[in-house]
Amino acid sequence: MKKSASRKAFEVFNVIFMILLSVVMLYPFLYVASCSVSSSASIQAGRVGLIPEGFNIDAYRAIIGYKVIWRSYGNTIYYTVLGTAINLIMTMLGAYPLSRSDFYGRGVFTVIIAITMYFSGGLIPTFLTINALGMYDTVWAIVLPGAISTMNMIIMRTFFQGIPDALEEAAIIDGASDMQVLIRIILPLSVPSIMTIGMFYAVGHWNSWFPPLIYFRTSTKYPLQLVLRQIVIENNTNELEAMQQGMYIEDETKMNSSAETLKYAVIMVSAIPILCVYPFVQKYFVKGVMIGSIKG
Amino acid sequence: MASKVKLSKAQKAHERQRTWQNIKKNKWLYVMFAPVLIYYIIFKYVPMVGIVIAFKNYNVFKGIWASPWVGFQQFQRFFNSIYAWRLIRNTFLISFYGLIFGFPAPILLALLLNELKDGAFKKVTQTISYLPHFLSSVIIAGIVTSFLRPETGLFNNIRAALGLERIYFLIYPQYFRTIYTTMGIWAGIGWGSIIYLAALTGVDPELYEACIIDGGGRFRQTLHITIPGILPTITIMLIMRIGQLLSVGSDTILLLYTPSTYITADVISTYVYRVGLIDANYSFSAAVGLFNSVIAMVLLTISNSLSKRFGETSLW
């Protein structure tokens, strides 16, 4: 089929538009990366673009020497691993019975669960409940209140329902208990979907900062995102000065401007793990959205 | 007649016995489900009961139940305060701008992506457009803050290069909504397009062929087949969005606003956070929060019934 001139023009425009869009999406990160290795004087003078000027890695050296960043990194990993493990166990324990048509009371339980998608106690009553449970300033306030995302549980239930009943029945006839069926039959068959949902949860934990903000009093328990917020958004001078100790700065004026480079470097340090992982995991997320949209 | 009743009674007893046997047979399912049920009761239903503090004057030492009832006093206090109207207006306007500018953006992107040939270029573009979705709001807000900084920010460097004065964008209230809306579009356009792309794959290819035979060009195909094809999805998404007009999350706003921009940036959820958790006015802020969720619920119910009527699909 021959293409008309206007069609060709449109196609060219479309490709240019997509390239522009990609640039708009990526440029901020490339700029941040470039600034994080440039001299602060060049940033200030507006001379830094995609190519760094006055290349140096002092900021990264300072961050490596600054133990608050590493501690918060460790905290984030801890909360993510523990939180995701709890999420997956609880979500499976909910999803499997709900996927069984012979689970008496399934309708009632579904309603009890679905109601919570539309009504909630709200911030203050939830906060007071968690305090009353003695979870304030403990890791449990971070990992337990969100142990199940109802949406994820519904997605997982849909996955489980897709597994042929005959497999379960055969196992039950062979004398397997429901627990054994879940562990030996259902789980091995659902590894991809469990991975997908596990990644939903893990990215959520990795990026979470509001619950830690309201439930942690002790700053040594802060995750990376909260430390990042202190440094980049609140411009916390204590943190910045502490980091600058590692930068061998000769005079006061340089002290002030090096803070900028440090902020860019801290953004990079916290974004790098996600930037490395997301191109590989995004397709699972997309799949999850599709399933969620069909059900919802 | 009598025998029939007796029979149904016997049937009932039989039914009950069978149900009981069924429960016994599946006892492990109940054991599995127990922690889930406990979770929902403790973390979802107990806080719902805790809403009663909105009608009380909560005292930390007395606890929820011993604190005195005050009826609607907390609500009155809110509506009589100078903040009530400002908060409602800000919350509404921020989501309204999101609706006007943020809602069509992913649809347009999906339509344009759909015109690309399948291949590496399309995949890479899509993957890049998803990037902001995976980053925390702190990183995104951090980048925005850095870019808008008066002395060193990218935008101000560009302004300075053009001979314009440097502006500290984040402390002037008139810029806040623009900044927030733009950031929202940037962060959400790629991810938001997924659902429309999924809908586009469901459009029957035979319809296109028929249109081509009728001599319809690409633009006519888009207008008469593609858009009607995804209209149900658009309708549902729009209605859901309207249902959320008064539910603006506090997350990103907390990161970007400052006391100097409260006049346009402070929304109900950020106010609840400040008054409740910073100032510890639990009852008052619970009342404000409850007001917000009731309005949100009403909006959602209205939009859902609209969805049922026009979209033939609904949330419940």
Per residue in B21-59, pLDDT (tens digit) is 888 888 889 999 999 999 999 999 999 999 999 999 988
A-chain CB neighbours of B237 within 8 Å are none
- DSSP state letter for A138: S
* Nearest residue in chain B measured CA to CA from A7: B218
* A223-226 long-range contacts, CB within 8 A, separation 24+: A223/A72, A223/A75, A223/A76, A223/A79, A224/A69, A224/A72, A224/A73, A224/A75, A224/A76, A224/A270, A225/A76, A225/A270, A225/B136, A225/B138, A226/A72, A226/B138
Which residues 240-269 in chain B show a CB within 8 A of chain A?
250-251, 254-255, 269
Percent of chain A with pLDDT over 70: 90
Report pLDDT for B6: 60
Nearest of A142, A288, A243 to residue B43 by alpha carbon: A142
B160-178 tens-digit pLDDT: 888 888 898 999 999 999 9
Interface test with B, best of A17, A99, A124, A278 (most B CBs within 10 A): A124
Backbone angles phi, psi at B280, to 5 degrees: 60, 35
* Nearest residue in chain A measured CA to CA from B313: A296
A-chain CB neighbours of B45 within 8 Å are 116
Report pLDDT for A249: 54
* Residue A52 zone, left/alpha/beta (φ > 0; ψ -120 to 50; rest): beta
In the predicted structure, residue B104 carries a pLDDT above the cut 90: yes
Q: Mean pLDDT score of chain A, rounded to an integer?
A: 86
CB contact under 8 A, B26 and A209: no
CB contact under 8 A, B28 and A179: yes
Q: Does B142 touch chain A (CB under 8 A)?
A: yes
**Residue at A199: amino acid letter:** M
Write a three-state SS string for A210-244: HHHHHHCCCHHHCCHHHHHHHHHHCCCHHHHHHHH
A-chain CB neighbours of B277 within 8 Å are 123-124, 127, 214
CB contact under 8 A, B146 and A232: yes
B121-134 tens-digit pLDDT: 999 999 999 999 99
Q: Supply the DSSP string of B26-95, one letter for each residue.
A: THHHHHHHHHHHHHHIIIIIHHHHHGGGGGB--BTTTHHHHSPB-TTHHHHHHHHSTHHHHHHHHHHHHH
Backbone angles phi, psi at B29, to 5 degrees: -60, -35
C-alpha span between A260 and B258 (Å, rounded)? 20
Nearest of A87, A168, A149, A115 to residue B28 by alpha carbon: A168
Distance from CA of B112 to the nearest CA of A (A): 7
A207-230 tens-digit pLDDT: 999 999 999 999 999 999 999 999
Where are the domains positioned within chain A? 57-296
* Nearest residue in chain A measured CA to CA from B147: A28
Q: Does B201 touch chain A (CB under 8 A)?
A: no
Measure CA of the first residue to CA of the last residue in chain B; give whole Å: 41
Interface test with A, best of B117, B134, B274, B294 (most A CBs within 10 A): B134
Report pLDDT for A295: 46
C-alpha span between B23 and B27 (Å, rounded)? 6
A98-137 tens-digit pLDDT: 998 888 889 999 999 999 988 888 899 999 999 999 999 9
Helix residue ranges per DSSP H, B202-223: 205-213, 218-221
Task: Please tell me the least confidently modeled range out of A45-59, B18-32, B171-185.
Answer: A45-59
ipTM of the complex in this document = 0.87
Q: Which of B22, B134, B195 sits opposite A289 (nearest CB)?
A: B195
B-chain CB neighbours of A296 within 8 Å are 315
CB contact under 8 A, B195 and A32: no
Tell me how many residue pairs between chain A and chain B have CB atoms under 8 A apart. 241
CB contact under 8 A, B125 and A21: yes
In the predicted structure, residue B4 carries a pLDDT above the cut 70: no
Q: Does B161 touch chain A (CB under 8 A)?
A: yes
In the predicted structure, residue A155 carries a pLDDT above the cut 70: yes
Nearest of A237, A164, A159 to residue A192 by alpha carbon: A159
The CATH number given to B73-311 is 1.10.3720.10
Percent of chain B with pLDDT over 90: 49
Which of A73-87, A257-271, A281-295, B8-22 shows the highest mean pLDDT?
Answer: A73-87
SS3 B111: helix
Report pLDDT for B32: 93
Report pLDDT for A296: 40
Which residues 46-85 in chain B show a CB within 8 A of chain A?
46-51, 53, 64
Mean pLDDT of the region A172-181: 84
Q: Which of B33, B137, B161 sits opposite A93 (nearest CB)?
A: B33
Distance from CA of A191 to the nearest CA of B (A): 19
* Residue A53 zone, left/alpha/beta (φ > 0; ψ -120 to 50; rest): beta
Nearest of B241, B239, B246 to residue B293 by alpha carbon: B246
CB contact under 8 A, A233 and B142: yes
Distance from CA of A254 to the nearest CA of B (A): 14
Query: What is chain B's length?
Result: 316
Report pLDDT for A64: 84
C-alpha span between A144 and A133 (Å, rounded)? 11
Task: Please tell me the least confidently modeled range out of A96-105, A280-289, B108-117, B162-171.
Answer: A280-289
C-alpha span between B296 and B301 (Å, rounded)? 9
Q: Does B293 touch chain A (CB under 8 A)?
A: yes
Report pLDDT for A212: 96
Where are the domains positioned within chain B? 2-55, 73-311
What sign has the CA pseudo-torsion B244, B248, B249, B251? positive
The distance of Cα B267 from the centroid of its chain, to the nearest Å, equals 14
In the predicted structure, residue A78 carries a pLDDT above the cut 90: yes
The CATH topology of domain A57-296 is MetI-like fold (1.10.3720)
Task: Please tell me the least confidently modeled range out of A23-27, A106-110, B1-5, B148-152.
Answer: B1-5
B-chain CB neighbours of A233 within 8 Å are 138, 141-142, 145, 255
Report pLDDT for A292: 65
B85-102 tens-digit pLDDT: 999 999 999 999 999 999
CB contact under 8 A, B142 and A229: yes
Q: Does B188 touch chain A (CB under 8 A)?
A: no
Report pLDDT for B1: 45
| Token pair belonging to A90 | 């609880």
B216-237 tens-digit pLDDT: 777 788 888 888 888 888 888 8
Please, how many CA atoms are within 13 Å of residue B160, restricted to the half-sphere of its CB?
17
* Nearest residue in chain B measured CA to CA from A42: B152
Nearest of B40, B101, B73 to residue B286 by alpha carbon: B73
Q: Mean pLDDT score of chain B, rounded to an integer?
A: 87
A127 sits in which H/E element: helix A123-132
In the predicted structure, residue B212 carries a pLDDT above the cut 90: no
Could you tell me which residues come within 8 angstroms of residue B95 by beta carbon, excluding any fewer than 6 positions away? B244, B245, B246, B247, B248
